[in-house]
Structure 1
Amino acid sequence: MTDRNLRHPSPSPDATTSIAAEAEGFLLAQEHRSAAHREAQTLCDALPWLTTAQAEDLTRYYVAHRLRLSRQLFEASLARAEELRREYEARYLRLRRDLLRRHGAWASVLLACAAGVSGALSTLAR
């Protein structure tokens, strides 16, 4: 390791992945916020009788409400993804156990057949 590496160690792959996921989440949240602002602006433009203060209040309320809904949807999606992950892992473990049991049974049958054939051949060879 050089002095440079000691002063500025490179982040671990897990840390890099975590940083990238956090940055992606931040950018996604910013995009949702921008989309909510655009929608609120479109709504306010459709209501020309609103005063500036009313339009700002409506925009603030709409954005907060929309972000709250987005958060609820994301949390529900995450919960469902976690539930599906657990279900798939359990199913995979059951399938794996069954496959290993079947392979073990077939290996035992094959070994018994080989032993029987070997015994029969050695008996016939005498």
Structure 2
Amino acid sequence: MPRPRLAATLRAVRPAVMVTESRPVERFVAAFRRDAETDGRAGAFGLAVDVAVQYAEAKEHKRFGTGSGPSAKLAVQHDVLDRGIYAEFRHALGERRCPRCWPPSSAGLTSRAEDPSGRHRPLQQ
């Protein structure tokens, strides 16, 4: 787990957005990786990191008009991991999502909605 004091503070504050330099994020990832290796889930953790990077790159390419976005397979992998491993990350970091991007938990998980300019817009339910 991340440093206990920082992790406890993040859980108490529950930030929807966190602006930081790369080092604290690297520490969080390293701590999560150690925990996954200890629990025998290093393979799942590696897959989750790979899918997250590929998904983010595909979304970025779509936003800049240099790609078509995540493939259907990648989107399904991301959605499945979002309900498992990514949820564990969010829980450790305060478990709060931007209310303009995500529906309430009672509505279930759906994909983020963005307009072509990259700004957030509410999901249609």
TM-score (norm 1): 0.30
**Whose Rg is larger?**
1
Greater helix content: 1
TM-score (norm 2): 0.30
